[in-house]
Structures are given as structure tokens and as C-alpha cells.
């Protein structure tokens, strides 16, 4: 009997010691991204395609008076666009389906100013049909820009035009497959002012493409970064206080940095052209941005918690021009060389681990998975993470990512390296967000320390990488 009791007690003790309650993840910090916004952020880099009547009139802003026959690409090949974009490392394309001149690249039933009235392919061509098919073939996302300003349509400037514009969106969103991003701005005629029904526009887009993210200067899903240089703020919150904002809102100071306590999740997109203008002009063939300029743009956009929308102006043949192709491929090579080998490996130590649970341990930042992360206990908003490489290494790039699915948190952080038997600070910055890349002169060290100096809640770091990029 005594033996049985002892056995029962031992089993009970073993069970009690073996049982460890599951440590819950940190509570979300509102607001949060939607699944579509998360998927959009992971694209990072994609193309704007400016092509239309302006390509043939050699204008940037057409007046809507050029005859439809003026649009006549001799060798239009959207598959060539898709090959170039894919090979350049981009993940999608957004086409100017209608610019301010009002000329539609698809046979719209809302106007006579379309490809259907041109001599191109005897009026039977459809650029959107070709491009959407090419995107599907080459594994790219398909996006559309329709300008609300229309300098050709007779109803522009009247309430009836809002119905026209909504119908244009309906046609595009129902006729060409999945659209990942619906792009519009607040462009307006200064003489014939139009009162736009923006909420109605957004409702139409939601109705026909519920998974598409909507871009405008003020969202509702993606915001303009506030400039056309491709540069986000060194501080860049994905959250915004959007009160008083609207498509056409052009406050760079507000858009560039976001709002730390903003109630809406509206991350920034950086749009910039590879040339001085947005549409193709042969006089700009020698003015394509340099690789150094493009790398600076990349670090200032993708490297600062934003996405990069790099514009390509397709030429009058209907092809991506050879000058642009060459630079795009050089740019891709430069990125590949900069991020060729991730040197972040070794032993990881954290000042605090949530519940002392390996599920939230510091080593999670090196496992290459998006769904794992280092996290601290609730209330611990200052902490550090150390990586001991086990040997001295050289590097000049540092990359960190937060688990933004549960909100953006880090407000201030620093980077330290072990030197002369103590840690020295080599960089101090503010936000991290989806991705943050720091540049600094080459350092040589055996240990690196990421110090979270201030966070809105328990920091959640999902990835750390370090690289030795070529130096000029």
C-alpha cells in the first residue's frame, strides 16, 4: 500500500514538473495591418508603368486633345515588360490605365477617347488585357492607376462625372483578373474644379476587388510618402492620424514620417521615376538615374519601412527602352552584391525573454522565419539582444525587422559593437517597422548588440541580418 502511495506521489510530482503552461504572445498594439496590407508590404519593390497618349505627344500632362490615332505603338509587347520587371527583381506592375488626358488604354464604354478609336491594331487592341496576361505568365502582381482628372470627358466638372469614373473602375476591376493595388490621386483641374466622391470610389474598389489595397495621398490603405524622390523619413511610422487628410493631401512633413499614435494603419509607398520625367522622352536617354542614386533610393524607401514603386516610361515602340533595361539590371546586381551573404549567425543572448520560453528566445531572430520572433515580458520596453559571431567579422550594413502583424512598436534603438573590451555605439535610430536597413562605415568585431531603448510595448524582433557590402 505504501509503495502504491509513493508511486502515485512520484508520478504526480513528475507530471507537475513536466507541465509548463504555454506562454501567451504579447498583446497586439493597435492599429494592425490587414492581411492585404501585410502581403503588400512583403512585395517591397515593384514597377510603375507610365504609358499612354503622352508617350506619343512627348508630354507629361496631356490636354486630352490629341487624336486617338496618335496612339500607335509599333511593337507593343507587354511580355517584354514583364520579363524585364521580373528579371530586375520587381514583384509587380501598376499601369497608367488612364492619365489626366483621359485616354483609356482599354476599350471603355464610358468614353470615345480609347484605344478602340485608334488605328492601333485596327481598334481591337487592349493594353490592360495584354499586360494582365503577361503578369500572370511571369508571376507578377497586376495593378492599375486611373486618374480622376479627365481633360477630355465632357462630363468632367459635373456630379455626373463621378458615375463615369466609378464605371471606369468597375470595368477595369471586373475585366482583367486580380488587382493587387488600385492607385489614384487627387489630381484636379484648377479652372473646372471637380468635387470627387472619394468614399464612393473606394466603395466601388472594395466591392469588386476586396483584396486590393487602395493607394492615394491619404490612403485608405497605402499613403503617399509626400515626395517624388523615393525617400521616406528616417522616422517612419506605418500608423497615421488621417483626420483632415484626403487624396491630394500634400503635406510632406506629415506623410513622410507618419504618426506614432495614429489610429489608422496606412504605411508609406515611395514613388519615383528612373528618369527625370514619368513618361518616356528620347531626350532623357542619357539621364537615367545612376546605380548609386538607385541604391540610395532603395535604402531610403525599403530600408525605412516603406515600399518602392519605381517608374519606367515605356517608349513609343511599346517596349521598355534599352537604356532603362541596362540600368535596372545593374541596380539588381548592386543589390545582390550588397546583400550577398548574411553574416548574422552565432550565439544569441537576450537581456529578457518572454516567460523564459524558447518560443520567444533571442535565437528566433536568426532562424529566417517570418512567424517567429524574440519578445520580452509585458512591461519590458527596454532590452538588448547580443549576437556573438564566434570570430571577428567585417560588415557595414545592418537589417532588422519587427513582427508588424501585432503592431509597430520600436520607438528608438541603437547598434553597438564590441571593441577594446567594451561596447561602442555605432548607430542610433528611431523606428524599425517591417524593415530597417542601416548603413555605416565598415566595422570589425566579434560581437554585436541591438539595444531597444524605447518601445510602445514589448518589442517583437523577427529578423536580424548583417552584410559586408562593397565600398565605393
- Domain termination site, one of 338, 367, 394: 338
Residue 20: the pLDDT is: 59
Which residue is listed with cell 504618426? 259
- Domain termination site, one of 338, 366, 392: 338
Answer whether 382's CB lies under 8 Å from 458's CB. Answer: no
315 and 363 together in one domain: no
Answer whether 236's CB lies under 8 Å from 410's CB. Answer: no
135 and 184 together in one domain: yes
For 166-214, the pLDDT digits (tens) are 999 999 999 999 999 999 999 999 888 899 999 999 999 999 999 999 9
297 and 327 together in one domain: yes
Among 433, 466, 404, 356, which Cα is nearest to 29's? 404
Task: Tell me if 30 is assigned to some domain.
Answer: no
Cell of 61: 500632362
Domain that holds residue 395: 347-467
Task: Tell me if 212 is assigned to some domain.
Answer: yes
Residue 7: the pLDDT is: 46
Task: Tell me if 66 is assigned to some domain.
Answer: yes
First to last CA, the chain: 82
- Domain termination site, one of 271, 306, 338: 338
Residue 15: the pLDDT is: 43
Task: Tell me if 244 is assigned to some domain.
Answer: yes
| φ/ψ of residue 67, rounded to 5 | -65, 145
Which residue is listed with cell 485596327? 122
| φ/ψ of residue 385, rounded to 5 | -130, 130
- The tally of domains found in the chain comes to 2
Task: Tell me if 12 is assigned to some domain.
Answer: no
> Cα–Cα distance between 31 and 226 in angstroms, integer?
22
Answer whether 348's CB lies under 8 Å from 341's CB. Answer: no
85 and 198 together in one domain: yes
154 and 55 together in one domain: yes
Answer whether 114's CB lies under 8 Å from 68's CB. Answer: yes
208 and 317 together in one domain: yes
Residue 3: the pLDDT is: 53
Q: With residue 213 as reference, give the H or E element that holds it.
A: strand 213-216
Tens of each residue's pLDDT in the chain, 472 residues: 455 444 444 444 454 444 557 899 999 999 999 999 999 999 999 999 999 999 999 999 999 999 999 999 999 999 999 999 999 999 999 999 999 999 999 999 999 999 999 999 999 999 999 999 999 999 999 999 999 999 999 999 999 999 999 999 999 999 999 999 999 999 999 888 899 999 999 999 999 999 999 999 999 999 999 999 999 999 999 999 999 888 888 889 999 999 999 999 999 999 999 999 999 999 999 999 999 999 999 999 999 999 999 999 999 999 999 999 999 999 999 999 999 999 999 999 999 999 999 999 999 999 999 999 999 999 999 999 999 999 999 999 999 999 999 999 999 999 999 999 999 999 999 999 999 999 999 999 999 999 999 999 999 999 999 999 998 7
Task: Tell me if 86 is assigned to some domain.
Answer: yes
> Cα–Cα distance between 231 and 306 in angstroms, integer?
9
Residue 12: the pLDDT is: 45
- What residues contact residue 167 under an 8 Å CB cut-off, 6+ apart? 109, 110
Task: Tell me if 26 is assigned to some domain.
Answer: no
Maximum separation of any 2 CA atoms in the chain, in Å: 103
Task: Tell me if 6 is assigned to some domain.
Answer: no
Amino acid at each position: 500500500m505504501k509503495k502504491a502511495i509513493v508511486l502515485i506521489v512520484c508520478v504526480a510530482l513528475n507530471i507537475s514538473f513536466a507541465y509548463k503552461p504555454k506562454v501567451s504572445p504579447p498583446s497586439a498594439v493597435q492599429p494592425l495591418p490587414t492581411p492585404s496590407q501585410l502581403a503588400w508590404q512583403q512585395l517591397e519593390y515593384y514597377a510603375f508603368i507610365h504609358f499612354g497618349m503622352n508617350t506619343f505627344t512627348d508630354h507629361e500632362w496631356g490636354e486630352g486633345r490629341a487624336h486617338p490615332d496618335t496612339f500607335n505603338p509599333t511593337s507593343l509587347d507587354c511580355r517584354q515588360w514583364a520579363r524585364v520587371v521580373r528579371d530586375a527583381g520587381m514583384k509587380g506592375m501598376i499601369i497608367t490605365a488612364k492619365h489626366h488626358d483621359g485616354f483609356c488604354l482599354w476599350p471603355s464604354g464610358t468614353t470615345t477617347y480609347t484605344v478602340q478609336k485608334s488605328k492601333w491594331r485596327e481598334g481591337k487592341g487592349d493594353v490592360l488585357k495584354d499586360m494582365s496576361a503577361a503578369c500572370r505568365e511571369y508571376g507578377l502582381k497586376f495593378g492599375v492607376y486611373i486618374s480622376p482628372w479627365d481633360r477630355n470627358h465632357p462630363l468632367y466638372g459635373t456630379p455626373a462625372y463621378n458615375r463615369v469614373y466609378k464605371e471606369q473602375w468597375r470595368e477595369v476591376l471586373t475585366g482583367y483578373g486580380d488587382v493587387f493595388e488600385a492607385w489614384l490621386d487627387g489630381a484636379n483641374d484648377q479652372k473646372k474644379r471637380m468635387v470627387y466622391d472619394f468614399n464612393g470610389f473606394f466603395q466601388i474598389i472594395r466591392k469588386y476587388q476586396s483584396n486590393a489595397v487602395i493607394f492615394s495621398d491619404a490612403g485608405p490603405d497605402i499613403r503617399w510618402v509626400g515626395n517624388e524622390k523615393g525617400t521616406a523619413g528616417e522616422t517612419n511610422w506605418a500608423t497615421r492620424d488621417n483626420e483632415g487628410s484626403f487624396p491630394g493631401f500634400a503635406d510632406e512633413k506629415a506623410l513622410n514620417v507618419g504618426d506614432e499614435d495614429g489610429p489608422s494603419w496606412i504605411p508609406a509607398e515611395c514613388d519615383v521615376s528612373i528618369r527625370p520625367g514619368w513618361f518616356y522622352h528620347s531626350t532623357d536617354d542619357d539621364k537615367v538615374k545612376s546605380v548609386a542614386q538607385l541604391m540610395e533610393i532603395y535604402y531610403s524607401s525599403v530600408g525605412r519601412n516603406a515600399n518602392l514603386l519605381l517608374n519606367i516610361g515605356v517608349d513609343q515602340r511599346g517596349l521598355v527602352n534599352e537604356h532603362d533595361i541596362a540600368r535596372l539590371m545593374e541596380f539588381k546586381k548592386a543589390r545582390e552584391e550588397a546583400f550577398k551573404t548574411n553574416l548574422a549567425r552565432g550565439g544569441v543572448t537576450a537581456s529578457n525573454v518572454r516567460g523564459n520560453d524558447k518560443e520567444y528566445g533571442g535565437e528566433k531572430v536568426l532562424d529566417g522565419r517570418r512567424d517567429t520572433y524574440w519578445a520580452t515580458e509585458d512591461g519590458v520596453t527596454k532590452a538588448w539582444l547580443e549576437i556573438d559571431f564566434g570570430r571577428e567579422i567585417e560588415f557595414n550594413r545592418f537589417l532588422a525587422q519587427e513582427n508588424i502583424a501585432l503592431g509597430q512598436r520600436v520607438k528608438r534603438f541603437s547598434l553597438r559593437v564590441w571593441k577594446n573590451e567594451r561596447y561602442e555605439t555605432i548607430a542610433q535610430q528611431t523606428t524599425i517597422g517591417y524593415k530597417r536597413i542601416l548603413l555605416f562605415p565598415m566595422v570589425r568585431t566579434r560581437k554585436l548588440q541591438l539595444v531597444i531603448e524605447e518601445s510602445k510595448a514589448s518589442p517583437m524582433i523577427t529578423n536580424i541580418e548583417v552584410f559586408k557590402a562593397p565600398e565605393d
